[in-house]
């Protein structure tokens, strides 16, 4: 992996940088190709070089575009967006779309990430021209999170419709409720790092982890009961059980 100079952009919102600033997407070793096309489970660790350069297809098996970049919150370890070259599919030349990682699922047979987002939903995703630098201002980050929360995760997930309705009516905790104190940020970051390092599914690695006032809220979809238990074990190793609100759903 080649290391290139990059600048960390700081703002009131959590720190975000594109991973192509660190990883050269043209450097894709054979081991990476074997990981994506072989029998390894999605739960094994993912590297930026494994994701960047991979096609994204819709439910009709049409190629939407190719993963060009990732937007990562370095404070919490959260993947905020998978940046896809969707211009050709949407009929808008030289355009990149920022899609939530929770809306993507790797399909070994298709050798691509699959999403059930409709063309209309894709058109509403945050976009920028390939020649422009990504905008990581507070307003842009808020827009990223707003879009992610509006479309939810993989459309097969059992909780998406209900959670999106609750979010819209402000009945539950969403990522915008993440506490800004040093303690809350550290708790979320530590849990996120442990979850990412664990042998979990791609969706589980991207569950929503929100810490506010010492209370941790978990939202999203996990593959099965064993994975649910594994996530809770990780969280309970960092935070007392009484301080955890478990809103995870089993697929």
Query: Of 51, 89, 55, 81, which Cα lies nearest the Cα of 144?
Result: 81
DSSP track, 42-92? TTS---HHHHTT-EEE-TT--EEEEEEEEEEETTTTEEEEEEE--HHHHT-
Contact 20, 133 (CB under 8 A): no
192 falls within a domain: yes
Q: Model confidence at 141, in pLDDT bands (50, 70, 90)?
A: confident
CB 43 within 8 A of CB 201: yes
Strand duo 105-107 + 112-114: pairing: antiparallel
Domain harbouring 66, CATH code? 2.30.30.240
> Does residue 26 share a domain with residue 145?
yes
141 and 82 inside one domain: yes
Rounded to whole angstroms, the Cα distance separating 72 from 62 reads: 27
Question: How many whole angstroms from its chain centre is CA 90?
Answer: 22
* pTM of the predicted protein model: 0.51
For residue 30, the SS3 value is helix
Domain count, the chain: 2
Do 187 and 210 lie in a common domain? yes
34 with 131, same domain: the answer is yes
Q: How confident is the model at residue 57 (pLDDT cuts 50, 70, 90)?
A: very high
Please give the backbone phi and psi of residue 240, each rounded to the nearest 5 degrees, phi first.
-60, 145
Any domain includes 213: yes
Q: Say if residue 125 is in the same domain as residue 199.
A: no
Instruction: Identify whether residues 228 and 106 lie together within a single domain.
Output: no
Asked if 115 and 230 sit in the same domain, the reply is no
172 and 246 share one domain: yes
pLDDT mean over 226-246: 96
Distance from chain centroid for Cα 216 = 18
199 domain residue, yes or no: yes
Domain assignment of residue 3, yes or no = no
Does residue 185 register a pLDDT over 60? yes
Judge whether 188 lies within some domain: yes
63, part of any domain:
yes
**Quick one: 65 and 134 in the same domain?**
yes
Same domain, 135 and 46: yes
Together in a domain, 38 and 126: yes
79 domain-assigned: yes
Of 126, 151, 176, the domain-final residue: 151
* Burial annotation 96-130 (CB, 10 A radius, 16+ → b, else e): bbbbbbbbbbbeeeeebbbbbbeeebbeebbbbee
Residues 93 and 171 reside in one and the same domain:
no
How many CB atoms neighbour CB 9 within 10 A?
A: 16
| Domain housing 164 | 160-250
More confident residue, 38 or 145: 145
Give 88 or 156, the one with higher predicted confidence: 88
Which of 123, 151, 179 is the last residue in one of the domains?
151
Region 31-42: mean pLDDT is: 38
Q: Who has greater pLDDT, 44 or 206?
A: 206
> Given 151, 171, 201, which residue is the final one in a domain?
151
- Which of 30-34, 76-80, 206-210 has the largest mean confidence? 206-210
Q: Which stretch of 61-75, 109-123, 140-154 has the lowest confidence by average pLDDT?
A: 140-154
Distance CA 213, CA 181 (A): 8
| Predicted local confidence at residue 42, as pLDDT | 38
* pLDDT winner (highest mean) among 86-95, 104-113, 163-172, 190-199: 190-199
pLDDT at 167 over 90: no
Residue 1 lies in a domain: no
For 64: left if phi > 0, alpha if psi spans -120 to 50, otherwise beta; the answer is alpha
């Amino acid at each position: 992996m080649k290391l290139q100079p990059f600048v960390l952009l700081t703002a009131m919102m959590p720190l975000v940088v594109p991973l192509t600033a660190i990883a050269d997407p043209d450097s894709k070793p054979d081991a990476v190709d074997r990981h994506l096309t072989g029998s390894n489970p999605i739960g094994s660790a993912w590297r930026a070089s494994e994701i960047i350069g991979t096609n994204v297809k819709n439910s009709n098996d049409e190629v939407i575009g190719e993963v060009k970049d990732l937007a990562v919150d370095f404070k919490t370890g959260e993947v905020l967006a998978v940046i896809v070259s969707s211009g050709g599919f949407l009929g808008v030349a030289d355009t990149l779309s920022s899609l939530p990682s929770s809306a993507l699922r790797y399909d070994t047979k298709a050798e691509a990430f699959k999403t059930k987002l409709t063309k209309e939903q894709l058109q509403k995703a945050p976009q920028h021209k390939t020649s422009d630098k990504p905008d990581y201002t507070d307003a842009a980050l808020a827009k990223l999170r707003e879009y992610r929360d509006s479309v939810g995760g993989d459309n097969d997930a059992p909780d998406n419709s209900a959670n999106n309705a609750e979010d819209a009516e402000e009945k539950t905790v969403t990522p915008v409720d993440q506490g800004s104190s040093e303690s809350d940020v550290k708790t979320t970051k530590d849990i996120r790092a442990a979850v990412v390092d664990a042998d979990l599914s791609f969706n589980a690695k991207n569950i929503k982890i929100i810490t506010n006032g010492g209370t941790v809220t978990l939202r999203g979809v996990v593959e099965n009961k064993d994975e649910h238990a594994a996530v809770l074990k990780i969280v309970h190793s960092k935070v007392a059980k009484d301080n955890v609100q478990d809103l995870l759903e089993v697929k």
